[in-house]
Structure 1
Amino acid sequence: MATEHINVSHVAHLARLELNAEECEVFQRQLDAILGHAESLAALDVTGIEPTSYPVPVYDVMREDEPRPSLPAAAVLANAPDQAQDQIRVPKVIADA
């Protein structure tokens, strides 16, 4: 079991989640189990083991960045549900203040 407990109800409040007491208890047990497992991993002696994030080497394969002609505006606007002044019109996403 982890030595430090994370207050699930406090974290839920910060995340604006409404959890009842039963859900907080379930999440608390799960979180304690996860932190306990992390503690057991921290206790392992890993001296001499090289850090890695992948089990096999990963090589970057990138193509050359070469300029190419883009689509004509008419082709781009052909599938636009709404357009104005040769631009795609989208719904307003910023709420009025």
Structure 2
Amino acid sequence: MKLTSQEIEHIAKLARLELTEKEKTMYAEQLSVVLDYIEVLNEVDTEGVEETCQVTGLEDVVREDVVEDCSKEARGKIISQFPSAHGNLLKVKAVFDNTDSTDL
């Protein structure tokens, strides 16, 4: 399937890309090869083949998220290393400009 220059320009516009004529030609060739390969894959007979979502057989390989208590001494050591604190909270620069909220 050979993509036209107009199709490449449309795709570039959707992606908000500005392409040179050389890039349009290059991407037309590359995308055409990819689409041709997809056409070949679409012709493969998958009748009776079970869908596979993953192939490792591993599930839930991460540890369970468990809350653990922290001693007052350990908590104090952590808080003492904060560059800026408000009580027991780490004080950071604002991420959002929200003039309606109270600054800590």
Which TM-score bucket, shorter chain as reference?
A: 0.5 to 0.7
Bigger mean CA offset, 48-57 vs 12-21 = 48-57
Indicate the residue corresponding to 1:10 in structure 2. Answer: 10
- In 2, are the aligned partners of 1:8 and 1:28 still within 8 Å (CA)? yes
- In 1, are the aligned partners of 2:79 and 2:85 still within 8 Å (CA)? no
CA RMSD of aligned residues (A): 3.2
Query: Structure 1: how far apart are the matches of 2:12 and 2:46?
Result: 35
Indicate the residue corresponding to 2:81 in structure 1. Answer: 78
Query: Per-residue CA shift, 1:35-93, capped at 9, x if unaligned?
Result: 1100110011111111114344232234333211367376267365xx46341225x56
Quote the sequence identity (%).
Answer: 28
Please, what TM-score do these two structures have when normalized by structure 1? 0.66
Unaligned 5+ runs, structure 2: 98-104
Unaligned 5+ runs, structure 1: none
Query: Per-residue CA shift, 1:12-33, capped at 9, x if unaligned?
Result: 1222211101101111111111
Higher RCO (CA 8 Å, separation ≥ 6 residues):
1
Query: Structure 1: how far apart are the matches of 2:43 and 2:65?
Result: 46
